[in-house]
Structure 1
Amino acid sequence: MHVKYKSVASSYLAKIDTDNQEQDFQKALGNKFEKIDNNTKTLMNGVIESNKQTRTEIQEYNKTLESKFQDNDKLVGKYNKSLSKMNQGIFSLFFVVLIVSLVSLITGPIGDILMLNSYAETIHDQIVQGESIWRYLAYSFYLIPFILLFFILWACTKFIDALDDKF
């Protein structure tokens, strides 16, 4: 019977050892998994915090870019307006030079070639020497050179507008 008690005692001790080993193993695994879980939580919190910080930095960068784009659009608008005004000024100056050139040519050498001076003298003589009512119609003949000049200038303005639309 003694052997039987010994065998029961040794099997009881073996069972206690096995239970203790299982508990120790479970504790060890539990500790390892807790450490891994804690490290994972810490890492995830760090990643989440980093993502939040990155998002705020990206939002600030986008706001900065948007304000720069708006400033750039304003500057481009101002430059386009000033370029348009400069083009209008240059074409206006060209038109003034054109008018002065045409007037000087008509009153100068081209007027002599077209006999505008003799034309004006002929109209004057017709008005002075004529005795009918039609002589007053001759006053309108003074307008013919000015009408021609008007049409020449009108054609020049159409040409300048066509150039302005093209460029």
Structure 2
Amino acid sequence: MIVIRHARQNETGLLAAIGLRAWAKAIAGLADAAAMRVAAERAFVDFLAKHWLSVLLIEEENRICGWAAREDLDSTISDLWIDPGAQGRGLGKALLAEMEQRMAAEGFDVANARTHAQNVSAVAFFQGAGYRVKWLSTAYSQKLDRDMEFIGLSKQLASEPMSERI
């Protein structure tokens, strides 16, 4: 059974480990993950310590398999990480759909996401979910400890008819 719920503060270490494993897989072949591991781990730990209230996690059979966050509780999905051993089973799609549903319920019309431009699997994942590329820019990545090209994607969210909101 799949469950999506808010993260708890005492789960941040486990979530950081999942994020780190997924991050290492995402940058394989693009950068030296071993050399950047300490900075990436610190970035995950720091992020989750500050923003755990903005994190939704997904469990399968009572095992946490991934998480997503809206760092500023706005319309931007700042993180979406699925443990590599749990990828390919629809967990990312389910977590993304839940994030979108919550954003729409909060009144947001558009969902936004960003990833590094060479993360082909993440770009394909978001495009497969109906996101379109909106921008490309270079910015400093704390997790990679260097400047990276980032790609921004967005998707129009389905909205309920006004009569159903009242």
TM-score, with length taken from structure 2: 0.19
Query: Greater helix share, 1 or 2?
Result: 1
Query: Greater strand share, 1 or 2?
Result: 2
TM-score, with length taken from structure 1: 0.19
